[in-house]
Amino acid sequence: AQSVAQPEDQVNVAEGNPLTVKCTYSVSGNPYLFWYVQYPNRGLQFLLKYITGDNLVKGSYGFEAEFNKSQTSFHLKKPSALVSDSALYFCAVRDPDAYSGAGSYQLTFGKGTKLSVIP
């Protein structure tokens, strides 16, 4: 069964500093990996994905993530944090080997990491 771990409940970073939100995963085959962000009273907003190819993927709002197969990690990064980046961040994985034949792909989420960017 696929699973995702986000080891930090909360990450605090000063505005302008680089940020990292950690994620590790477990799947039986090659993973499809995603990051979502949730602002208060809003739904989950897609940030970026890794499917195949370059291990460094770039997404919305200046975020990027690095896929590391040997460490089974997919950490989210941003070179310079903004106060407006403060939100709840979720890592998610899909196991493509679980393809059901009907084209349905469930996401398995981590528990989320609250990012607070301090002015």
Name the minimum Å distance from CB 73 to another protein.
Answer: 18
Can you read off the two tokens belonging to residue 28?
Answer: 């039986």
Where does this chain touch another protein (CB under 8 A) — which range of 16-24, 63-71, 79-87, 103-111?
A: 103-111
Q: Which is nearer to another protein, 82 or 107 (CB)?
A: 107
For residues 47 to 86, the per-residue mask of contacts with another protein, x marking binding by CB under 8 A and - elsewhere, is: --x-x-----------------------------------
Pairing of strands 113-118, 10-14: parallel
Please give the sequence-ordered ranges of beta strands (E in DSSP) within the chain, or none if there are none.
Answer: 3-5, 10-14, 19-21, 24-26, 32-38, 44-50, 56-58, 64-68, 73-78, 87-94, 108-109, 113-118
Q: Decide: is 105 part of the binding site for another protein (CB under 8 A).
A: yes
Which of 43, 53, 70, 119 binds another protein (CB under 8 A)? It is 43
Rounded Cα gap, residues 69 and 107, in angstroms: 19
